[in-house]
Homo-oligomer: A and B are copies of this chain.
Amino acid sequence: MTSLAISDAVALLSSATVGRVVFSVAALPAIAPITFAVHGDAVVMRTSAHTRLASAADGGVLAFEVDDVNPAARTGWSVVVTGVAEVVRDPVQQAVIHGLVAPYAPGENDVAVRLPLTVVTGRRVEGVLSPAPGDRTSPL
């Protein structure tokens, strides 16, 4: 497993349209798939008012992940962004985000969320040869 340069990680991030947003609800981890875009120096996404994400994104720490893993080939990559999110309230910026992101989930999705690329980490696995299931003695 190799760490990616930030520029490579951001390029892979920008190549995807669906990721997973991670947040906390009552101190428990929560995660949901979501469509997104990279806009300037941030991940932008949309949600509906009164969702758990809308609450968590209003000044809370979010992680956002994209990946593409091929378990049979044992290759793949993942990129994670971590930062303090904000709900975008400027109408012009809201409209920009609404134009960039097609919601996956139904609902109004009027809440625009911006997660700055504060911490970006990326990893790639390729050409790894490791034992397959069954290579080890198993009672199954």
Interface residues of A, Cβ cutoff 8 Å to B: 1, 17-18, 20, 22-24, 28-33, 35, 61-63, 65, 67, 69, 71, 74, 76, 78, 80, 82, 92, 95-96, 98-107, 109, 125, 128, 130-134, 136-140
Q: Which residues of B contact A30 (CB under 8 A)?
A: 63, 80
Q: Which residues of B contact A128 (CB under 8 A)?
A: 105-106
Q: Which residues of B contact A92 (CB under 8 A)?
A: 139
User: Taking the full assembly, how many copies of this chain does it contain?
Assistant: 2
Q: Which residues of B contact A22 (CB under 8 A)?
A: 22, 29, 31, 63
Q: Which residues of B contact A95 (CB under 8 A)?
A: 136-139
Q: Which residues of B contact A28 (CB under 8 A)?
A: 61, 63, 82
CB atoms of A29 and B33 under 8 A apart: no
Q: Which residues of B contact A137 (CB under 8 A)?
A: 95
* Cβ distance A100 to chain B, nearest Cβ, rounded Å: 6
CB atoms of A106 and B130 under 8 A apart: yes
* Cβ distance A48 to chain B, nearest Cβ, rounded Å: 10
Q: Which residues of B contact A76 (CB under 8 A)?
A: 33, 104
CB atoms of B104 and A74 under 8 A apart: yes
